[in-house]
Amino acid sequence: MVDPERTAVPTRDEVWAILDTVMDPEVPVLSVRDLGIVRNVEIDAGGAVTVTVTPTYSGCPAILVIERDIADAIAAAGIPSVQVKTTFSPPWTTDWIAPDARARLKAYGIAPPGRAESGGLVQLMRARPAVQCPYCDSFETEVRSEFGTTACKSLCWCRGCRQPFEEFKAI
């Protein structure tokens, strides 16, 4: 990918296209752009690129890998100066995951997130809409735990096909 002859200042479209190829290390069917964690791309007159990202969960260990992968991918395209910045505002929400990305999540075996709620502070024993099984499409499912194998997923069980599955949880 490195073009040693490169002299032109990169365009924002070009950088966004590179970001389409940087995949989440834990959910490799989603790019960092699909996830909605890239908040801004800036290019100064000298061609230096600044990418602003926001973490999914504050303790997500993948964020350091993601930031490095973004910098590496942009450098590999021959853009010599790249900086990755972090922002916390506005906070990330799963509502930023695009519709086509949701379909890819389901095909990969992870139920896509429902709409993020902004309800009250205390919501105990809450009933929420049934999650659709990504394997057999049944709604006869139950959430076994809101906390799954990564911070962003919950553990579910399908009574239809009697399989465990994960849901990308709404936040």
Partner 1 sequence: MSGSKGSVTPPAAPPPNVVFETLLRLGDDRLVLGHRVSQWCGHGPILEEDIALSNIALDLVGQATMLLHLAGEVEGAGRDEDALAYFRDEIHFRNCLLVEQPNGDFGVTIVRQFLFDVYSAVQFDALTRSAHPELAAIAAKSLKEVKYHLRHSGDWLLKLGDGTAESHGRVQHALNSLWRFTPELFAADDIDRAAFATGIGPDTAALQAQWISIVRDVVERATLTLPADVPIRAGRTARQGAHSEHLGHMLAEMQIVARSHPGAQW
Q: Which residues in this chain contact partner 1 in the complex, by CB under 8 A?
A: 55, 57-61, 87-93, 121-126, 144-149, 151, 155, 169, 171
- Compute the least distance from the CB of residue 96 to partner 1, in Å: 13
- Compute the least distance from the CB of residue 120 to partner 1, in Å: 9
Q: In whole angstroms, what is the distance from residue 43 CA to residue 49 CA? A: 5
- Compute the least distance from the CB of residue 91 to partner 1, in Å: 4
Q: In whole angstroms, what is the distance from residue 135 CA to residue 124 CA? A: 29
Nearest to partner 1 of 11, 149 (CB atom): 149
Write the single-letter amino acid at 39.
R
Nearest to partner 1 of 11, 123 (CB atom): 123
CB of 85 closer than 8 Å to CB of 70:
no
- Compute the least distance from the CB of residue 23 to partner 1, in Å: 22
Nearest to partner 1 of 11, 58 (CB atom): 58
Q: For residue 165, which of 116, 106, 101 has the smallest C-alpha distance?
A: 106
Tokens of 156: 């579910």
